[in-house]
Amino acid sequence: MAKSRAIGFGIENLPRIVRGEGSYLIDDAGRRYLDGSGGPAAFCIGHANREVNAAIAAQLDQVACGYRYLFTSDALEQLTQLLLSLSGPQFGHVVYTSSGSESMESALKVALQYFDARGLPAKRRFISRHRSYHGNTLGALSVSGYAERRAPFEGSLLDVSFVSAANAYRPPTGVSETDLAKHLADELESKIQALGPDTVAAFIFEPVVGAAGGVVPAPPGYAAAVEEVCRRHDVLLIADEVMCGVGRCGTWRALEHDGITPDIMAVAKGLAGGYIPLGATVFKHTVGRSILEAQGGIMTGHTYSGHTAACAAGLAVQRLIERESLVERVRERGVILQRALRESLGRYEEVGDIRGRGFFIGVELVSDRRTKQPFPADRRVNLEIGRHAFENGLICYPCAGNVGGGLGDTIIIAPPYNASDTELEVLVAKLTAAVEAALQP
């Protein structure tokens, strides 16, 4: 059988995967690949974990799925209780999905239903940020400021307003780092005022931008500043934690780092660690109460929402993370990993920035470190690094277009939370070799 061709990362012929062993994947030729990015920052406890597989198998032996309108289940109820406990006391409701895109789609619908339930049906508009990515369904794509992924679908997307990206490495012209949070919050307030506060439903942002920016944490003070603006104008705050949440940044919620709580939060990827597709939209008691009292139910969901075996997988993954204190490990080892990357890659003038939180780290490549000038797009530096790394047995996540939508090269590193210290050292060594090879003239 012919091997398939990959478009995204520039790999011409995909190897055939046959098994996983912890932080490694093995193909049919016996080659081992260290999963240095957890795939797309999803495989948070590695591969083929026996405990998780046993929990899934045990659930499948009983029943694969009970349809949510007919049955509840132990797996669903226990995961919901744990998920709300981990999210914090202000959260009281969960809608399950099968992906991050669905989680964001449900977040948009919950926001709209909330204002309809309150008798404010004119609040229908969303504000998002440039250089953001919230999913591949039409609604989630509409609120994504990612020109390359939007382009084929323009004309059929929602009318969404955008404000500047929050990137301390690339701030708006003339704005200092100390003034950045206030400048961006003022811009958001101006946008709300221009649209009319009575028309705006929610502001959407990633606490740490993933693929669209190459791991860009919110600048200090930014999250609190935009929260204050949203509260003043009765605008909901939606946090997209699909990629950066569920412990990836060293706190269970990424926004714990920033000291704020959103009204609605989307999670996925690390929730079930890639063992079975699972996502969730989690929202505050106040939001759910308004909807339930006025309309009786949350009007979003899918056939497989709360899929029983998927919930069993998520429960097993989250229990393992909690028991082995893996979020704390990510918080502690993330500092060490980022320091090791800085020490190893800092000698290359083309490495402009290394940033992130926990086990969510981005490396940005530039042609001139002083001016931050990106490489020409046709140089394809990110793909070259990804290719060299892959050929040398390391999986990383190459990204492009974080500068002006067409330029910019970044690499995302997001290893499993339980990757050993030795595996993290191998990751740094292999990534360094790939960067050096890709930068050769």
Cα–Cα separations (whole angstroms), residue 253 to 239, 250, 347: 10, 8, 34
d(CA 306, CA 42): 19
Give, in degrees to the nearest 5, the angle at Cα 10 between 5 and 12. Answer: 35
CB atoms within 10 A of CB 300: 18
Instruction: Return the pLDDT at 243.
Output: 98
What is the DSSP track for 200-230?
Answer: EEEEEE-SEE-TTTTSEEPPTTHHHHHHHHH
Cβ atoms of residues 415 and 427 within 8 Å? yes
* pLDDT band with cut points at 50, 70 and 90 for residue 441: confident
- Domain covering 17-48+325-438 in this structure, CATH number: 3.90.1150.10
> Per-residue pLDDT for 85 more than 90?
yes
Q: Give the pLDDT confidence score for residue 7 in this predicted structure.
A: 41
Same fold, 17-48+325-438 and 53-319: no
Q: Give the Cα separation of 380 and 112 in Å (integer).
A: 41
Domain boundaries, the chain: 17-48+325-438, 53-319
Residue 16 clears pLDDT 50, i.e. is over it? yes
Q: What tokens appear for 28 in the block?
A: 């049919």
Check: CB of residue 251 under 8 Å from CB of residue 195. no
Instruction: Determine the average pLDDT of the residues in 152-174.
Output: 96
Q: Which two tokens stand for residue 406?
A: 């067409």
pLDDT digits (tens, 9 = 90+) for 188-244: 999 999 999 999 999 999 999 999 999 999 999 999 999 999 999 999 999 999 999
Q: How far is 276 from 98, CA to CA, in rounded Å?
A: 9
* pLDDT at res. 13: 85
Quick: pLDDT tens for 351-369: 999 999 999 999 999 999 9
What pLDDT is recorded for position 405? 85
All residues at 6 or more sequence positions from 424 whose CB lies less than 8 Å from its CB, including other chains: 333, 336, 337, 340, 415
Res. 6: pLDDT tops 70 = no
Helices 421-438, 381-391: crossing angle, 10 deg rounding: 130
**Does domain 53-319 fall into CATH 3.40.640.10?**
yes
Q: What is the per-residue pLDDT for 117?
A: 98
Percent of residues in the chain assigned helix, strand, coil, to nearest 5: 40, 20, 40
Q: Please tell me the predicted confidence (pLDDT) of residue 4.
A: 41
pLDDT at 373 exceeding the cut of 90:
yes
Q: Give pLDDT tens digits for 406-425.
A: 899 999 999 999 999 999 99
Asked if 364 and 409 count as a contact pair (C-beta separation under 8 A), the reply is yes
Structure tokens at 107: 């977040």
User: Once rounded to an integer, what is the mean pLDDT over residues 97-116?
Assistant: 98
